[in-house]
Amino acid sequence: MLTPTTVDEACEMLSRGGAAPTLIAGATDVLVHWPMNLAARDRAYVDLSGVDSLRGISWTDDSLTLGALATYWDVVRETRVGREFPLLVSAARQVGAVQIQSRGTWAGNIVNASPAADGVPVLMAYDAVVVMRSSSGVEEVRLDEFYVGYKKMRRRSDQLVTAVRVPRRAHDVQFFEKVGARRAQAISKVGLAVAHSGAGWRVVAASVAETVRRCRAVEGMLERGEAVRSVGDVVSALRQDISPIDDVRSTAVYRERVLARLIYHGLRGVCPGFS
């Protein structure tokens, strides 16, 4: 167990070679599969909780920065986030329950890379950027380009996520929907985050593909202002974007149908072209 107190120290520990070390932030994903005997493992564990510079939320003129240790509860409690990025607050309040929100981090949600994550879709809808550090320097990757396959991402094992940066823009449309078996402590069957700003439409879906992803065919349809008169019109575009499966939580048919309806009913009366 390694316990760095600075980012430099943590990066040095990650660059030592051998099996990729497991980083631990809020531990709400890592502890669920916690080995009873760490010493028997071939890998190192690096605890980030003592790296104080990774804590908290900060603002500049053009962006909001969530430190790698910023939790859901940090976001819920910061009223300014609620004003400028309401989807971050609505997603945070739907993660697990308070005991998970107080520990779970946005960076942990990103690197855990679950297709059913709730933090990832809202960050992606706001064009968030993942900031990473390693002994060889800083790299920034847009969240919508971060995932390359199921639990595969553009992060090397020696890279530490130090922050998530979200550009500040005025949004005239934004909503987040999570459909789960119950309101709290449920993993989503379908998730949807939609945002519109000067940068265009963002339609991000969760639990309907190998990764959380932007639905670019649907976005294109919205950008062009195409007439959308029924749920069926959404489905035809959506089929180019998603590849839902049957699993323990839901079925492919249910997921496609519900996602299309969430998009259609969420944008009707809001987006020109929808009737």
Partner 1 sequence: MRVSFTLNGKAVSLEVDPSARLLDTLRYSLGLTGSKEGCGEGECGACTVYLDGLPVNSCLVPTFQARGRRVETIESIDPASLAAMVESGATQCGACTPGVVMTACWLRRHPELLSSHTARELMAGNLCRCTGYDGIVDGIEASMKKGRC
Ligand X SMILES: Cc1cc2nc3c(=O)[nH]c(=O)nc-3n(C[C@H](O)[C@H](O)[C@H](O)COP(=O)(O)OP(=O)(O)OC[C@H]3O[C@@H](n4cnc5c(N)ncnc54)[C@H](O)[C@@H]3O)c2cc1C
Nearest CB to partner 1, comparing residues 90 and 197? 90
Judged by CB under 6 A, the residue of 161, 164, 194, 212 near ligand X is 161
Task: Identify what 212 binds: partner 1, ligand X, none; CB under 5 to 8 Å per kind.
Answer: none
Q: Which of 104, 121, 244, 266 binds ligand X (CB under 6 A)?
A: 104
Shortest distance (Å) from residue 7 CB to partner 1: 18
Burial 76-109 (b: 16+ CB within 10 A, else e): bebeebeebbebbbbbbbbbbeeebbebbbbbbb
Q: Where along the sequence are the contacts to partner 1 (CB under 8 A)?
A: 1, 3, 24, 27-28, 31-32, 34-39, 45, 47, 49-50, 73, 76, 93, 96-100, 102-103, 183-185
Residue 117 found at the interface with ligand X (CB under 6 A): yes
Q: Is 123 in the site for ligand X (CB under 6 A)?
A: no
Place of tokens 């002994």: 135
Phi, psi angle pair for 88, to nearest 5°: -65, -40
Could you tell me how many residues of this chain bind ligand X (CB under 6 A)?
A: 30
Q: Between 32 and 248, name the residue whose CB sits nearer to partner 1.
A: 32
Distance separating alpha carbons of residues 131 and 185, to the nearest angstrom = 29
| Amino acid in the structure at residue 32 | V
Q: Which is nearer to partner 1, 73 or 126 (CB)?
A: 73
Q: 220: left (phi > 0), else alpha (psi -120 to 50), else beta?
A: alpha
Measured from the CB atom, the residue of 27 and 235 that comes closer to partner 1 is: 27
Instruction: Identify the residue among 57, 89, 103, 194 touching ligand X (CB under 6 A).
Output: 103
Q: Nearer to partner 1 by C-beta: 47 or 139?
A: 47
CB of 242 to ligand X, least distance (A): 18
Rounded distance, CA 139 to CA 121, Å?
21
| Nearest-angstrom CA–CA distance, 192 and 176 | 6
Contact 239, 268 (CB under 8 A): no
| Of 71 and 162, CB closest to partner 1 | 71
Q: Could you give the angle at the alpha carbon of 209 between the alpha carbons of 88 and 268, nearest 5°?
A: 60
Residue with tokens 């879906």: 205
Q: Report the interface residues with ligand X, using CB under 6 A.
A: 22-30, 32, 48, 68, 95-96, 100, 103-105, 107-109, 111-112, 117-119, 160-161, 185, 187
